[in-house]
Amino acid sequence: MNYNIILAGVGGQGSLSVSVVIANAAMKAGLQVKQSEVHGMSQRGGEVLANLRLSDSQIQSPTVPRGMADLVLAFEPLEALRYIPWLNKERGVVVSASQPIRNIVDYPEIDSVLAEIRHLPRFRIIDADGIAKAAGNPRAANIVLVGAAADLLPIPISALESAIDEIFARKGEAVIQANRKAFNDGKTQFGK
Amino acid sequence: MQLVLSGDEAVARGALDAGISGAFAYPGTPSTEIMEYVQDNLAAYVAGLPEAERGKIVAQWCSNEKTAYESALGASFAGARAIVSMKHVGLNVAMDPFTNSALVRINGGLVIVVADDPSMHSSQDEQDSRVLADFARVPCFEPSDQQEAYTMIRQAFGYSEQNEVPVLMRLTTRLSHARAMVQTGSPRLPAPKPKSNDPKSWILMPAMARGRWKLLLEKNAAFRRDAEAENTLQLRSTKLGVIACGLGLAYYLENETDWVAANGGASAQHSSKGSQRDGATPGEAPSLLRITRYPIGHDKIRQLAAHVEKLLVIEEGYPFVEREIRGVFGAPVPVMGKLSGEIPLEGELTPESVRLALGLPAHEELPPAGIKVPGRPPQFCQGCPHADSISALQEALAGEADFYVASDIGCYTLSALPPYRAVESCVDMGASIGMARGASCVGQKKAVAVIGDSTFYHSGMTNLLDAVSHKTTLTLLILDNSTTGMTGAQPTISPTSQLPALLQGLGVERDHIHELISLRKYQDENAAVIRSELAYEGVSVIILKRECLEYLKKARKA
């Protein structure tokens, strides 16, 4: 079993911590992981990409080959489009937040961006920001997105939940609860 | 113990488990996390040492890579194991101690870890540190994954001591910044050696240096033999011989099963465990020579070439091994790689580029989006002090026809991009002041240098001294955010409060040193100060102060 994830967002959105949550959960479930990310200059408000590979055997390339991603988890819809060539033609799914981050002058019409996602064979679009706000923590939009993709991952829900609890453990009970709710609300959006 | 570590962290863990007494570095992507890991784990490390050793352990950010290197060298002379870490261009800064320390007798193990950045994710060039190790005639170790990074740095300290030579360990971005599971071994406690009584082996005056150089050249034969013994050869298919260096192995193994299937083999099960197959039993997979150490020996390459129809060299960075194999008179079989064009000469290796070089078809892809997906370049954080400093400079220069703004290396270089387009050059650490000075010397009006505090301490100070000594007219803006921002807010070597005194000590006239707070609401007054100094015939320095937001965030967390 191999499962390849591209996490795409904009610097500051917390995509790298989501990568850690999923990786930790996968390890709890007995899988091997390889995570790759780029630090430094690109983190300053630019496009941020993390690669996460899960497998029950040894993982080689630190990055996901083009055409081999099972999941593109996009924290912003334009960033989802950027990684379409990485999606596997037969099984790749895009799970994308709907809210654009317009920090560039040539950001396309949001409707056309979302329409492009809807043209893909398999996609989920979710108002991660709105759901996180309603859950009591606007900063938990990234965890809403994990919830929205939870049933696609080769990881038991319980492992994801405890990985989320662990990463927020130091921030106190209120933050843990808000993130649990964010995860669940993301999960139930797609009837799971 | 099993840990999940990035390549940088695996190196740091390995260095601690090898019993280092000193770690020295200057931040630089993708090497920064080496020192960060050592510092984060230092208290636990020291607590595990005998009482008498506890006061002798340090992990320090230094002014620059050269000073860091020299501290590590001194620690080695004193008998302790020391690591110095930097990014590839940092080694240029430390080149003087690096090449010369190859000649001296290393006492405590000295390992230089250099993280190269092919594809320039966060760098200004993609130079290959293996070339510089070769230039200095020192052994170079290049791990292929995180586990090997851990194991290999421990070996590197031993090798350095046995051979009395510095060892360079080369990482690349995708190894430094990828995380995987690492099995650690039992730690070795620091066991400093006595300082020797043979100063001749440490003094590179010509008469002594000649002897040391000869000795180093002689040692190189042993380095080559040892590397040859470590680099493993598996003779399998005669169709293709793969030479995989460092991380290149991972990209090869990613595609090995498909190669076997495409070349008439059973869909083999040995894709991931290829390295454990030994001997000359021909199998379906390509014959494979793994290179993790340099300078390379030639026997295994000859054996491989005699066994196969053609060779493919997979290496990150320059076609370093490929060039050595080709030579002037050509190889006995075709050699594919970066020079022949099967793998792009520029940029990092990817699973795709290696796949194509192996003669495999690309994986099928969905068509790209039907609309143009614009790039999203990095930009200033919301509320960044640099943005306000740059705006003040632009206001001061408004209406000027003839000026030159030289930038340095740091977040403020982002002001080269729209909407600012404020700076005109960015080359290397500390260069802004020298470039503005040189331009001014030959008649450029209103020469301005923009530099951050950390970069100023790194290598801007000597350029400023040149300007003061020669009374060059230039305006220097030091954007003082109290930290090294771009690499994630590491502490600068000297506090903000000391900067004016330092400038005066360098000879800048007191009346032409200004300390301003960089806030949008002060933009007009700040611009007025800059404008008046632009008119001054001499050296003026304007410090624009406000803390980096990343730094504040980090301080709040701590």
Among the three residues B228, B244, B264, which one is the final residue of a domain in this structure?
B228
Minimal Cα–Cα distance from B553 to chain A, Å? Answer: 12
Report if residue B363 sits inside a domain. no
Q: Say yes or no for a CB contact (<8 Å) between A40 and B486.
A: yes
3-state secondary structure of A167: helix
Q: Which residue in the set B181, B250, B377 is minimally distant from A46, CB to CB?
A: B377
B104 and B250 together in one domain: no
- Of B148-162, B479-493, B536-550, give the lowest mean pLDDT range: B479-493
CB B434 within 8 A of CB B470: no
Q: Which of B246, B357, B290 is nearest to B7 (CA)?
A: B246
Among the three residues B228, B252, B272, which one is the final residue of a domain in this structure?
B228
Q: Say yes or no for a CB contact (<8 Å) between A39 and B33.
A: yes
State pLDDT tens for residues A87-110: 999 999 999 999 999 989 999 999
Structural domain tally of chain B?
Answer: 3
B137 and B236 together in one domain: no
pLDDT of res. B265: 67
Chain B residue numbers touching A122 (CB-CB < 8 A): none
Chain B residue numbers touching A34 (CB-CB < 8 A): 178-180
Element (H, E) at B33: helix B32-40
Minimal Cα–Cα distance from A52 to chain B, Å? Answer: 9
Report if residue B188 sits inside a domain. yes
3-state secondary structure of B8: helix
pLDDT of res. B95: 98
Q: Does the structure show a pLDDT above 90 at B197?
A: no
CB A184 within 8 A of CB A136: no
Report if residue B167 sits inside a domain. yes
- Distance between CA B331 and CA B343 in Å, rounded? 18
Q: Does the structure show a pLDDT above 70 at B463?
A: yes
Report if residue B418 sits inside a domain. yes
Q: Say yes or no for a CB contact (<8 Å) between A81 and B364.
A: no
- Of B249-253, B466-470, B495-499, give the lowest mean pLDDT range: B495-499
> What is the span of the domain harbouring residue B269?
231-357
B343 and B405 together in one domain: no
Report if residue B368 sits inside a domain. no
Element (H, E) at B452: strand B447-452
Burial of B215 (0-12, 13-18, 19+ CB in 10 A): middle
Interval B469-498 mean pLDDT: 94
pLDDT of res. A13: 83
Report if residue B97 sits inside a domain. yes
Interval B348-357 mean pLDDT: 98
Among the three residues B182, B207, B228, which one is the final residue of a domain in this structure?
B228
Q: Which residue in the set B33, B251, B365 is minimally distant from A85, CB to CB?
A: B365
Report if residue B371 sits inside a domain. no
Residue with tokens 């299937």: B261
Report if residue B219 sits inside a domain. yes
B311 and B397 together in one domain: no
Closest residue of chain B to A8, computed from CA coordinates:
B376
Q: What is the largest CA-CA distance in chain B?
A: 80
B340 and B474 together in one domain: no
- ipTM of this complex: 0.94
> What would you report as the CA-atom Rg of chain B, rounded to the nearest whole angstrom?
26
pLDDT of res. B274: 43
Interval B7-35 mean pLDDT: 98
Minimal Cα–Cα distance from B443 to chain A, Å? Answer: 34
Q: Say yes or no for a CB contact (<8 Å) between B376 and A120.
A: no
- Distance between CA B100 and CA B317 in Å, rounded? 24
Chain B residue numbers touching A121 (CB-CB < 8 A): 366
Minimal Cα–Cα distance from B346 to chain A, Å? Answer: 18
Chain B residue numbers touching A55 (CB-CB < 8 A): none
For residue B499, CA distances in Å to A46, B6, B408, B489, B503 come to 32, 36, 18, 19, 6
pLDDT of res. A14: 81
B249 and B176 together in one domain: no
Q: Say yes or no for a CB contact (<8 Å) between A63 and B121.
A: no
Read off the pLDDT band of A44 (50, 70, 90): confident
B305 and B421 together in one domain: no
Interval B75-95 mean pLDDT: 98
pLDDT of res. B282: 42
Task: Write the CATH number for B324.
Answer: 3.40.50
Mind listing the domains of chain A with CATH numbers? 2-188 (3.40.920.10)
Chain A residue numbers touching B371 (CB-CB < 8 A): 81, 108, 112-113, 116
B223 and B94 together in one domain: yes
Mutant choice from B5, B172, B275, B365 vs A, greatest count of A C-beta within 10 A: B365
pLDDT of res. A48: 87
B19 and B166 together in one domain: yes
Mutant choice from A27, A61, A88 vs B, greatest count of B C-beta within 10 A: A61
The rounded mean pLDDT for chain B is 94
B100 and B190 together in one domain: yes
- Distance between CA A32 and CA A172 in Å, rounded? 30
B247 and B223 together in one domain: no
Q: Which residue in the set B32, B179, B374 is minimally distant from A106, CB to CB?
A: B374
Q: Does the structure show a pLDDT above 90 at B77?
A: yes
